[in-house]
Amino acid sequence: YTGKIKIFNYTPGKYPKGLIGYLPQGITYNKKFPIKVLDVVLMGRYPIIGYFNLPSKKDKDIALQCLESLDILEYANYNFQELSGGLKQRVLIA
């Protein structure tokens, strides 16, 4: 058999940086660290807003849209450690 492999119309190794991510099945984190779901999602914005800057309203709106797109907006103010394993995965995808 012959053929070609493409990911989002790019050959492997040729796609733009950041197009594909990896989320392992098991995650390790400090279960005593008090962090809200929205704050976890906002961490994904730090490369854009800077690590020492506070998120803007636009950043928060984008994070809330991500939660909404995964149908987990209602968990935005929950403590991350209180979620089930599946919900934690969805939050990390957001």
Is residue 77 a contact partner of residue 40, using CB atoms and an 8 Å limit? no
The predicted-structure confidence for 26-43, as pLDDT tens digits, reads as follows 767 777 889 999 999 999
Is residue 11 a contact partner of residue 4, using CB atoms and an 8 Å limit? yes
Higher pLDDT, 4 or 18: 4
* Residues 6 or more apart in contact with residue 44 via CB below 8 angstroms: 63, 66, 94
25: confidence class by pLDDT, cuts 50, 70, 90: confident
pTM of the model: 0.75
Judge whether residue 16 has pLDDT over 80.
Answer: no
21: confidence class by pLDDT, cuts 50, 70, 90: confident
Q: Quote the tokens at residue 55.
A: 């998120």
Is residue 37 a contact partner of residue 68, using CB atoms and an 8 Å limit? no
Which residues on adjacent β-strands are paired with residue 7?
10
The predicted-structure confidence for 45-72, as pLDDT tens digits, reads as follows 988 898 899 999 999 999 999 999 999 9
CA distance 65 to 50: 20
CA distance 74 to 13: 37
Mean pLDDT estimate for the chain: 88
